[in-house]
Copies of this chain bind each other. A is one copy, B any other.
Amino acid sequence: MLTELEGAILSEVFYRGRQTAFQVRRSFADSPSLEWKGSAGAVYPAVKRLEQAGLLAASATGDGRSTKLLSVTAAGRVAMLAWACDPERAVSTGIDPLRMRSGIWLQLSEKKRRKVLMDVRDALLQSIASLQTYARKKDTIERASVDLAARLQQVRLAWVDELLGSMPAEP
């Protein structure tokens, strides 16, 4: 079964037309999500795994730069679609750092709670702004996913605002 990174690499090559591992890497690094850093130590071994599994094909260009052009094989396309269309994996909530912490915040003193919530609120606003800026530059495929990310951040923001609203007025 494909890892999330492997699935993402296949879809970058197939739909987004990334040709080299380096371009795939950079597109992860540029993306505003902190999911992956697009680190060489992750991407190159993952590409090698995909090649060995016959899901990616690589061909040298002979440009002196040891550049290899990647393409998704027929088997790779099948594997990618199976990965993308598995509903169980698609709806898992993933690791949500905010959710992990939310219970603790409720236990803090009023003063500390207010400070954390305000800080988180600011960070969320900034995150939403940068997602929207990023979405404007991108193609339809990526815009869909960034839009969803922004919407989810807006729900988190609303949740934080509710908590702030339910607190007694500041002295």
Contacts and interface: CB of A to CB of B under 8 A. Distances in A.
Interface in A97-140: 97-108, 112, 115-116, 119-120, 122-124, 127, 140
Given A106-B141, A107-B15, A140-B106, A149 B93 contact: yes
A96 B95 CA distance: 7
A30 to B, nearest CB: 15
Contacts of A35: 93-95
A145 B92 contact: no
Contacts of A152: 93, 96, 99, 152, 155-156
Interface residues of A, number: 57
B87 A116 contact: yes
B33 A93 contact: yes
Contacts of A123: 87-88, 90-91
Contacts of A89: 97
B15 A95 contact: no
A102 B159 contact: no
Interface of A: 4, 7-8, 11, 15, 33-35, 80-81, 83-85, 87-108, 112, 115-116, 119-120, 122-124, 127, 140-142, 144-145, 148-149, 151-153, 155-156, 159
21 contacts: A33-B93, A84-B101, A84-B104, A85-B115, A90-B123, A91-B97, A91-B124, A91-B156, A93-B149, A96-B149, A102-B145, A102-B148, A103-B140, A103-B142, A103-B145, A104-B141, A107-B141, A148-B159, A151-B155, A152-B152, A152-B155
